Amino acid sequence: MTSTPSILLTVLLVSLLTPSSATKRHVIDFRSPGLYPEGLTWDPSGQHFVVGSLHSRTIHSVSDAGVVQTIISDPYLPENATILGLAVDSSKRRLLAGIHCAPPLLPCSALAAYDLRSGGRRIFLSPLPSLDSEDTVRDIANDVAVDYEGNAYVTNSAKNFIWKVDRDGVASVFSTSPLFSSQPVAADADASFRDCGLNGIVYNSKGYLLVVQSNTGKMFKVDEETGTARLVLLNRDLVAADGMARRRRDGTVVVVSQKKIWFLKSQDSWGEGVVYDEVELDVEGFATAVTVAGEDRVYVLYGRVMEGIMGSYKDGEAREWFEIEEVLSEKEGGYDKVWVYVLVGLGFTYFCFWRFQMKKLITNMDKKIT
Ligand SMILES: *[C@@H]1O[C@H](CO)[C@@H](O)[C@H](O)[C@H]1NC(C)=O
């Protein structure tokens, strides 16, 4: 008699305590020979990731099963130009891409916009103006964020300022705050990012942008109207910070570097911020970008860009496979665990109720028999 409920309870407990799919990390391997993508974003309408290419003037979608499709192939871009930051303007169904030409190519900093509704037709390719035409150090148009009116904001990693490109493609210098060059370069900054300033950027609909700076590890809050910047006080420096993304659900922000990813939150609209978790990444993968996909899940791109730039291929052949991997913060697991306890509680209640019913049944039967 008592064995049936205990079997039921055991089955219930086992099914509850087995890790659910929500706690399994999603790993996507995708094949695209020689791609070495630096930029990554998520297209919510297409329900796929979007990655750029180091030298082939193409942009590709990657499905959550790893199926790759070329969505943009733009021979109008300078030969061997690099696609850096990517952002999707959901309201206009546009894709915005930062374009950079590394030496020995001629400089070519630009923002390209493509229409995702019409098979990737180019809407504009706007050259980004230099501050000083005499300057011989080239600009680097790196990461891109977009606001709800279709204005794009592009970081200049070489010169520490931010461009703005409106929805018609009119480009201007937007923020040249002296704060951007006021912070000391991190003591342990190595050659790979010592000269890399402003980098990852995200837009917040409350009227500001957040920007991180690779070589100082600092974060700035930049007013959307005036371009005025303030230093965000953090409990640690985000040294070698690269790409950045924001989660809509709770406003938390993730910042990626080659070695780790930081999870940050703020109680006061980013006057101050706290790193509440950090997760080590696969250093070989050379993560450069992070994005937030369906249900606020965080994904990093292992594009192995340095291998592509140096041409340091393992067997003399360009790499064919790259990865997009989900990153989970253990500090956020609490939500799921609460549900396990709630369900165990429910199971126990059900068990007691069953016992109670059985008892009643037996009492009734006893009554009938006597
Ligand atoms: C582009 O890259 C290829 C392969 O490295 C090279 O052969 C070609 O000369 C480059 N083109 C330009 C314009 O630099």
Tens digits of residue pLDDT in 214-245: 999 999 999 999 999 999 999 999 999 999 99
132 Cα: distance to centroid of ligand 1 (angstroms)? 29
Q: Is the pLDDT of residue 19 over 50?
A: no
- The secondary structure element, H or E, covering residue 197 is none
Q: CA nearest 343: which of 3, 82, 17?
A: 17
Q: Which amino acid is at 158?
A: A
pLDDT tens by residue, 24-66: 899 999 999 999 999 999 999 999 999 999 999 999 999 999 9
CB distance 285 to 304 below 8 Å:
yes
| Beta strand 272-280 pairing with 229-234 | parallel
Residue nearest to atom 10 of ligand 1 (CA): 80
Cα end-to-end span (Å), the chain: 21
**Which residue in this structure is represented by tokens 């005025």?**
228
The ligand 1 atom nearest the CA atom of 105: 14
Encode pLDDT of 130-164 as tens digits. Answer: 998 788 899 999 999 999 999 999 999 999 999 99
Å from CA of 138 to ligand 1 middle: 19
- Better pLDDT: 55 or 370: 55
Relative to the CA of 104, which ligand 1 atom is closest? 14
Query: Which DSSP symbol is given to 25?
Result: P
Q: Please state whether the peptide bond connecting residue 104 to the residue before it is cis, i.e. omega within 30 degrees of 0.
A: yes
Spatial separation of the C-alpha atoms in residues 358 and 354, rounded to whole Å: 6
Pocket test for ligand 1, best of 77, 79, 312 (most atoms within 8 A of CB): 79
Q: How far apart are CA 114 and CA 86, in angstroms?
A: 11
From atom 7 of ligand 1, which residue's Cα is the shortest distance away? 80
Diameter over CA atoms, the chain: 108
pLDDT of residue 324: 98
Tell me which residue has its CA closest to atom 4 in ligand 1.
80
The CA 84 to ligand 1 mean position distance, Å, reads 18
Is the pLDDT reported for residue 366 higher than 80? no
**Ligand 1 site, CB within 6 A:** 79-80, 105
pTM: 0.85
The two structure tokens encoding residue 89: 């303007």
Rounded Cα gap, residues 324 and 280, in angstroms: 15
Whether 201 contacts 244, CB under 8 Å? yes
Q: What is the chain's Cα-based Rg?
A: 25
Structural domain boundaries of the chain? Answer: 1-25+333-370, 26-327
Instruction: Strand 171-175: give its sheet, edge to edge.
Output: 141-146, 152-156, 161-165, 171-175
Looking only at the bridges linking them, the beta strands covering 198-204 and 208-213 are antiparallel
CATH of span 26-327: 2.120.10.30
Distance 55 CA to ligand 1 centre (A): 9
Cβ atoms of residues 162 and 222 within 8 Å? yes
**Residue 3: strand, helix, or coil:** helix
Supply the DSSP symbol for 120.
S
The residue whose C-alpha atom lies closest to atom 2 belonging to ligand 1 is 80
Residue nearest to atom 8 of ligand 1 (CA): 80
- Centroid of ligand 1 to alpha carbon of 99 (angstroms): 17
Q: Ligand 1 center to residue 110 CA distance, Å?
A: 20
Q: Is the separation of the CB atoms in 62 and 324 below 8 Å?
A: yes
| 169 burial via Cβ count (<10 Å: 0-12, 13-18, 19+) | middle
Query: Which residues, at least 6 apart from 158, have a Cβ–Cβ distance to it below 8 Å?
Result: 137, 138, 139, 140, 195, 196, 197
Cα(80) to ligand 1 centroid in Å equals: 6
- 324 C-alpha to center of ligand 1: Å? 28
Give me the DSSP letters along 147-197: -TTS-EEEEETTTTEEEEE-TT--EEEEE--GGGGSSPPPTT--TTTTT--
Distance (Å, rounded) from C-alpha 197 to C-alpha 190?
Answer: 13
Per residue in 31-41, pLDDT tens?
A: 999 999 999 99
**Distance from the alpha carbon of residue 359 to the mean position of ligand 1, in angstroms:** 84
Handedness of CA 73, 74, 75, 81 (dihedral sign): negative
Element (H, E) at 160: none
Task: Summarize pLDDT for 76-127 with one digit per residue, the tens.
Answer: 999 999 999 999 999 999 999 999 999 999 999 999 999 999 889 999 999 9
Going from the Cα of 104 to the center of ligand 1, the distance in angstroms, rounded, reads 9
Which atom of ligand 1 lies at the shortest distance from residue 80's CA?
A: 1
> For the CA atoms of 147, 152, 155, 160, what is the dihedral angle to 10 degrees?
-90
**Which residue's alpha carbon is at the smallest distance from atom 3 of ligand 1?**
80
What element of type H or E holds 329?
Answer: none
Nearest atom (ligand 1) to Cα of 79? 13
Q: Ligand 1, atom 14: nearest CA belongs to which residue? A: 105
Query: What pLDDT, in 10s, does the model give residues 312-348?
Result: 887 778 999 999 999 999 988 655 555 556 667 777 7
